[in-house]
Structure 1
Amino acid sequence: MIQLQHVCKTYGEGENAHHALRNVNLTINDGDVFGIIGASGAGKSTLVRCLNLLERPTEGAILYDGRDITGLSGRALLELRSQVGMIFQNFSLFQQRTVLRNVTFPLELRSEKGEAARKRAMELLELVGLADLAERYPSQLSGGQQQRVAIARALANNPKVMLCDEATSALDTRTTASILQLLQDINRELGVTLVVITHSLPVACKICNRVAVIDHGRIVEEGATAAVFGNPQSPVTRELLANDDMLAAIERDAEKGQEG
């Protein structure tokens, strides 16, 4: 379980201060696919980067299974990050490394090298459907393939949690669907908790069992995805859902889910 308690993040001081997060309180249960949605600049990426201390909160606490991580440093911080995988919009692969060596990189940081690291990497590439491309370089892959490599790399250390920061926003619709299916499979089969940062309501509707809506650094609404999208309480959420085509698509997805 991940708990955020009164988390604030401020950049700068005085009149020039920018309050990126304001008194955020959230609980993400083990096994959730938890979506954090909002417009550009709402604070989504700052929030997710606080979850592995790429950004440190200015105030508040972040608890993993009851343990406050906000003061971690050194080896303890590295251990935390090994248990929290992360994938990004721009894939963030090493261009001079092959697909295989991109996936082995987190293992090398933990002094796991040689055949053991290679075997683990190949297992993950098989999982994401790219075992036959192990010796290629990122520049030789499509965007969807690069994101699959990034997912394999994020799984290298058997993380309990995976943070997905706009992981599909650079992909076309068909590729997005395949990546979302892969993430759902990982959540279901490996038990990895997913935190999905997205500005796309269809993405959140497709994959998330719970969502929180963020606006100007504040959580304005949170709950089960169907409840939040089906009966929005916040003006911000209603504005996000204002497009009739979007609402129709969400309703169709909900009906299909009930039929299944």
Structure 2
Amino acid sequence: MSDLRVALIQSDIIPDDSAANLTALERQMAANCPDPLDLIVLPEVFTTGFHPRARQHAETAAGPVSQWLARHANHYNAVVTGSVVFNDAKAHCNRLLWAAPDKPLQYYDKRHLFRMAGEHERYRAGRQRCIFTLGSWRVLAQVCYDLRFPVFSRNRDDYDLALYVANWPAARHDHWRSLLKARAIENQAYVIGVNRVGHDAYEQAYAGGSVVFSPEGELLVEAGDQAWVITAQLSEAALRDYRARFPAHLDGDEFSLVID
């Protein structure tokens, strides 16, 4: 393993305007992303925002957003990831796309759908827990409401970094920060959370608060409530040292995760 250089892109998502959102993200990245980087993380549904009409702008495998991600992964020589509303010809899903330089797109479909907003009625739930590799780092990728389900995030000595992309409302901002910190402490892993800011099509407010926590739950960097880019360097030496000094993971309970 080597240190991981990451950038968190906290954006104000314009409803129903994919082109405008991609242009705004390009400007944020060009103005604020240092060189070199290993990982660039965008929010949940970063081209549409989280609302029922988003399915009208669903992405496909050869669509413009997939091409945009691949192009920017090559440009920055870094993985670029975030979720979009996706139509795979069978159903709509909330799909996190993982674009690595010069490699085919990989993906994770959001497992836990936010029933309080009817997401479970409009989208198909994912059926796999996905861990991607980035160099020698193992990265668990999840989406928003997944954060509330610790069993699905449980580290079975199979990942080093958990990342959560979200449209997490300001009304539950304390939950966002507390749960991210808890996931870091209980799983002895780095945790990244990337949220949006601004207001959606229904005037729901979002407070940002994109953040990186260390495996000990130490706050490494945190954004405010404006569109912004924050960066961090994750230390593999610190991760290994902490797990060696405090090997609580060796006493974890054995279990099987059943996904219906």
Q: Return the TM-score normalized by structure 1.
A: 0.34
Q: Name which one, 1 or 2, has greater alpha-carbon Rg.
A: 1
Higher RCO, Cα 8 Å, sep 6+: 1
